[in-house]
Amino acid sequence: DGGITQSPKYLFRKEGQNVTLSCEQNLNHDAMYWYRQDPGQGLRLIYYSQIVNDFQKGDIAEGYSVSREKKESFPLTVTSAQKNPTAFYLCASSSASGVVETQYFGPGTRLLVL
């Protein structure tokens, strides 16, 4: 899992509640990414950021929000607008947004709805 940490490992959300997933990297990577993993569907991109103070929507951004105030941090907020948030969430980073750069992943956060 390299130098990428995600917390918490498990997170429980009550209906109508916003929750924030943490992602921190000490690899000095410029680009960071958030993916959602559901069984049998592979990984789907939620948001990505290529530089500080800039981020772009991925394929399934509705109901999620992010910020990138520091190079090493890229928190993801799951809002109450996300009606089916139960999933495994993975954060990744890469040294640049160039096409050949490998993405490295954190250990993941499993979000469950109470």
Task: Tell me the closest approach of the beta carbon of residue 32 to other proteins, in angstroms.
Answer: 12
Do 105 and 17 contact (CB within 8 A), yes or no?
no
54 is a contact residue toward other proteins (CB under 8 A): no
Q: How far, in Å, CA of 113 to CA of 85, rounded?
A: 7
Query: Closer CB to other proteins, residue 9 or residue 14?
Result: 9
Q: How far, in Å, CA of 102 to CA of 93, rounded?
A: 8
Exposure b/e, 64-74, CB count within 10 A at least 16 = b: bbbebeebbeb
8 is a contact residue toward other proteins (CB under 8 A): no
Q: How far, in Å, CA of 45 to CA of 49, rounded?
A: 11
3 is a contact residue toward other proteins (CB under 8 A): no
58 is a contact residue toward other proteins (CB under 8 A): yes
42 is a contact residue toward other proteins (CB under 8 A): yes
- The single residue among 40, 54, 69, 84 that binds other proteins, judged by CB under 8 A, is 40
110 is a contact residue toward other proteins (CB under 8 A): yes
